[in-house]
Amino acid sequence: MSFSSIFLAKNAHLTQDQLPWSIKILTQQKFVELSKDPTSLTLEQLQYFAHFGVLAPTSHNTVPQRFKFAVEKSSIEIWLDRHFVLPVSDKVGRQALVSLGCVIANIELAAQTFGWEAVTDLVSIEPKYLLHIPDIDSLNRFTHIATIAFSPSITPSSPQVLKDMVDRKVLRAEYDKTVHLTDELEQKLYAVMDKYPGTYLHIIKNQLLMRTFGKFQENADRFVMENKAFAQELGEWLIPNDQILPPYAMKGIEFGFDDEFAVHIHQGLKGEKRLLPDQIMFFAKGGKAGIESSSAVAVLSVEKDDVSHRIDAGRAYEELALLLYRHNFFTSMHAGITEVDWVNATFAATVLKTRFRPTAVFRIGKPKRVIDGQRPHSARPLLEDVTLT
Amino acid sequence: MRSTLQHPLQPIIFSAKEAHQKGWVVYDDQGVVSCSHPLVKEALAVDVATITPEHQYPLVFSSMSDLAKALSSLSNSPAMNDGRSLREKFDEDFQEYLTLMQSSQENGQWEPDYGTYVFDHVMGDLYSILPEEWHKVGLVTSTGKLLSDPEDKKNWFDVRNTLGGLSLGFIGASVGGNVIEGVMREVRCSHVKVADPDWIELNNLNRLERGSIRHLGQSRASRDDIRNPYEVRRYNKADIAAYYQNMVDPYANWFVYPEGLNSENFEKFLLGNGKDEPRLDMLIEEADDLSLKIEIRKLCRKHGIPVLMMTDFGHCAILHFQDFKNDPEMNLAFAASDEEILGQLDKALSSGNREEIFSFVEKLCGDQCIRGEFREWVHGRGEQPTSSLPQSGATAMISGGIGGKIVARYFLGHQIPSRLIYDFATGTVSE
């Protein structure tokens, strides 16, 4: 029987790309019953952990993660599908690694819920094996990034985090700027960073700095969207609302676009239809407005821009996002400011006053309109479709 | 005189007499000033500021002589409360100053105990200017009695007191900077507030009042790492607008909101703080933010504060005036009910659809506003070098002038229409 048929709740109203979000949250007992040996994990149990990795947020919702299961070692290998590394907006594969960091975080947290300690070892990789590969038949398409090994040595943690992973979504909407982060929550966020030496969290709540940040993001967005290749790529990954397959990419509704506009912007960015300069301006201003509406902006900077720190940035982001969600805060990533090098450098020097590279930037808030919080989840593939044999 | 800076670029003013008595300004034999005024020390982070003669601008005598030429000596010189005419008072004060100047020369003083020092800490320049009364007269005397109430019953002093006592607020200092200039030239009020979170960019110079290369970035010394080319410190539009206006009238009180307006400071911006920051008599709204436009109108209507908006669309300068003080039932928009404009705002913000945004504009501003070449742009026809809304610098400048006229005339009791469209392509004015 497939994973889908065992662990995904049957719901005739769900389209295939929404199905992964219907994962059943197992009780401790139900999870244990999946194995006869309490000291080793079965394939189903490993798959169950990995499924939460499928739900993790990824850059442009590219879902570049692939899994291999080593039952005899009670481990999951995390692989990068290079075909899904964005060639224009993620030239060096930085955001793909941040995405895999989110995947790893979810798997580690899922395992801890059931009393399994997760230890992640990174594979030593040459940078060229992180770059986009256009040929889907290439032998070098997949790169082994990490192996997560599990051992039954800890007390199970609260299953709430699993529900958070299922319910949470990246929300690109206007937030309610009257809502503030409490000092207590802020301290909890900083405490998460103890696990990630060399990665630093900056939380910006000052209105003036947030406006400045919003301006930088707007400049980044406008710069890249005026770039034909970038716009083309974004158009390929920003799809009409009714497009179910393939089960990745971002739908216009996730940006608050109605069906008509979602089609228009998709076609416009791809160059199939004329997109006017002020439409690009409004798109970019929307990002700025979103930032200015936020309770805070958070930046994860790394002391070294290498594989392990990029992954740690992703892991940290996902932990922070889940913690925030538990306190009813949503997040939304802003990649333009991290991937346009000159904007990144200006932002780091002028706003953050740091020499470390901002690697993940996200805003935090509660939706101003209740209806925005009810937008559908972004698409996800089935686990079997992202499993390597 | 102020004991704190109201905004970071504000010139520091202090009485010359007090400065000499307290030793805040001391001249050496070569005329070099050692300045130890507390605010100067704070602004420059030094114990004593050294100001060479190259950076000193003694302007009292020159300004006095300017007024001697400018102030009318004919029988219709405005009458003061004590029976003297303005000219007569000036003559007495001028004579008094000349006497002081002479005696200070004889005593070896570089400057007499008269007037006000103004230290522009941005440029490091020290000015001495006329006392407030005469400086302000100098700024308005050339307007003459062109401004008056509809029946022309107010005398010149009444007019100037009416306008000078106003408290005006500006949201947006880009095109808004032009309106600030027009209003300040015409009204010359003493309390002004300006809010704008944006910084100055090269492409703003086509319409930014007094904008120049000076404002495209701060000096290398402002960087934390002076060699880092990515560390770019910018100038805020509101700060610059206030600075240049303060360099015209250093006595005016400018309250600057470089963070822009948000739910936490709306009320203070409109209603003041009950202490030194007053309530607004009028708001001049020049913001880009659609939801801010509606939000601020709601509050102004609630508190009875009139709202003026000057919009420049292509070759049209469009005036919208909502007198919420005298008509608290007015709609938030010119061409839609409150329900309609709020619904349209929601559509404009939530769908991302361009047509919804222009539909909002038409409801807010009314039809006929989008015309000519600007209409072509709206419909996506023709070449387009800019990724933003195209704006004519000359139209912005004209909008500023119109704004100044309207504000002055409203407070002098003239009727102001709720909308006027000045079309410079066709040479027509319509409602």
Residue from A363, A374, A216, A219 nearest A293 by CA: A363
Helix extents (H) in B74-145: 86-106, 132-140
Nearest C-alpha neighbor of A286 from the set A188, A372, A349, A357: A372
Of A56, A50, A80, the C-alpha closest to A66 is: A80
Evaluate if residue A276 carries a pLDDT over 80: no
Residues of A in contact with B223 (CB under 8 A): 349
pLDDT attached to residue A12: 76
CA distance B13 to chain A (A): 27
Q: Whose CA is closest to B423, among B369, B379, B382?
A: B369
Q: Look at A323 and A334; give whichever has higher pLDDT.
A: A323
Label residue B223 by pLDDT band (50, 70, 90). very high
- Asked whether the beta carbons of B277 and B298 are under 8 A apart, the reply is no
Out of B352, B354, B387, whose CB is closest to A226? B387
Res A300 pLDDT > 70:
yes
Residue B338 in 3-state DSSP? Answer: helix
pLDDT value of residue A15: 86
Q: What is the pLDDT of residues B322-375, one digit of tens each?
A: 999 999 999 999 999 999 999 999 888 877 677 888 899 999 998 888 888 888
The mean pLDDT of A165-188, rounded to a whole number, is 93
- Closest-CA residue of B relative to A283 is B352
Residue-wise DSSP of B13-57: EEEHHHHHHHTSEEE-TT--EEE--HHHHHHHTSSSEEE-GGGEE
The contacts of residue A77 (CB under 8 Å, 6+ apart) are: A67, A68, A69, A70, A144, A146, A147, A148
Asked if B138 reaches chain A (Cβ–Cβ under 8 Å), the answer is no
pLDDT digits (tens, 9 = 90+) for B239-256: 999 999 999 999 999 999
| pLDDT over 90 (residue A203) | yes
CB contact under 8 A, A276 and B231: no
- Residues of B within 8 A of A208 (CB-CB) are 197, 258-259
- B133 in reach of chain A (CB within 8 A): no
pTM: 0.83
Q: What is the pLDDT of residues A45-83, one digit of tens each?
A: 999 999 999 999 999 999 999 999 999 999 999 999 999
Please write the tens of the pLDDT for every residue from B59-75.
Answer: 999 999 998 888 876 66
SS3 A302: strand
Mean pLDDT for A357-361 is: 94
The helix or strand, by DSSP H or E, that contains position A376, with its residue range, turns out to be none
Determine the residue among A171, A179, A211, A346 to mutate to test chain B binding: the one whose Cβ has the most chain B Cβ atoms within 10 Å: A211
B223 and A349 in contact by Cβ < 8 A? yes
Residue pair B312/B395 in contact by the 8 Å Cβ criterion: yes
pLDDT at B74: 63
User: What's the pLDDT score for residue A187?
Assistant: 97
User: A256, B350: Cβ pair inside 8 Å?
Assistant: yes
Let me know: does A199 contact A306? Beta carbons within 8 Å.
no
List of chain A residues whose C-beta atoms are within 8 Å of the C-beta of residue B384: 276-277
Q: Select the residue of A258, A277, A353 nearest B386 (Cβ to Cβ).
A: A277
Cβ within 8 Å, pair A345-B230 = yes
End-to-end CA distance of chain B: 45
DSSP string, A190-209: HHHGGGSTTEEEEEE--HHH
Is the pLDDT reported for residue A120 higher than 70? Answer: yes
Weakest-pLDDT range from A150-159, B187-196, B400-409: A150-159
pLDDT in tens, A162-175: 999 999 999 998 89
The residue whose two tokens read 């594989």 is A307
| Backbone phi, psi, residue A358, to 5° | -60, 125
Listed residue (B242, B244, B173, B185) closest to B214, CA to CA: B244
**How far is Cα B286 from Cα B359, in angstroms, rounded to an integer?**
19
- CB-nearest to B388 from A177, A178, A281 is A281
Question: Is ipTM strictly over 0.90?
Answer: no
Q: What residues pair up with A174 in beta bridges, in sequence order?
A: none
The mean pLDDT value for A99-107 works out to 98
Closest residue to A350, CB basis, from B197, B233, B260:
B233
Determine the pLDDT at residue A25.
94
pLDDT the model gives residue A273: 86
**Residue A352 Cα to chain centre, angstroms:** 23
Q: What is the mean pLDDT of residues A334-338?
A: 84
Model pLDDT for residues B372-410, shown as the tens digit of each residue = 888 888 877 877 777 777 888 899 999 999 999 999 999
Element (H, E) at B319: strand B316-322
* Orientation of helix A228-237 relative to helix A259-270, angle to 10°: 140
pLDDT value, residue B75? 60
Mean confidence (pLDDT) of chain B: 92
CA B79 from centroid of its chain's CA atoms? 29
Nearest residue to B240 via CA among B287, B284, B186, B204: B204
Predicted pLDDT of residue A212: 86
Q: Say which range, A221-235, B157-171, B209-223, B290-304, has the weakest mean pLDDT.
A: A221-235
Report pLDDT for B398: 94
Q: How far is it, in rounded angstroms, from Cα B238 to Cα B367?
A: 31
* B201 at interface of A, judged by CB pairs closer than 8 A: no
Specify whether the CB–CB gap between B291 and B316 falls below 8 A.
Answer: no
State which amino acid sits at residue A362.
F
Report the mean per-residue pLDDT for chain A.
Answer: 92
Q: Output DSSP code: residue A11.
A: -
CA distances from A320 to A120, A169, A192 (A): 19, 13, 7
Residues contacting A187, CB < 8 A, separation 6+:
none
Report the C-alpha gap between B153 and B204 in whole angstroms.
43
Q: Give the pLDDT confidence of B253-291 residue by residue, as tens digits.
A: 999 999 899 888 999 999 999 999 999 999 999 998 898
Number of Cβ within 10 Å of residue B107's Cβ equals 8
Give the pairing type, strands B428-430 and B56-58.
unpaired
Name the nearest CA neighbour of B321 among B410, B412, B422.
B410
Name every residue in A having a CB less than 8 A away from some CB of B.
174, 177-178, 207-208, 211-212, 215, 222, 226, 255-258, 260-261, 264-265, 274, 276-283, 286, 289, 342, 345-346, 348-350, 353, 369, 372
SS3 A65: strand
CA of B348 vs chain A CAs: smallest distance (Å): 10
Residue carrying structure tokens 């034909």: A228
3-state helix, strand, coil in chain A (%, to 5): 50, 15, 35
Are A36 and A50 in contact, with CB atoms under 8 Å apart?
no
Whether residue A281 and residue B389 make contact (CB cut-off 8 A), yes or no, is: yes
- The DSSP-derived string for A72-134 is GGTEEEEEEEGGGS-TTTTTTSHHHHHHHHHHHHHHHHHHHHTT-EEEEEEPP--GGGGS---
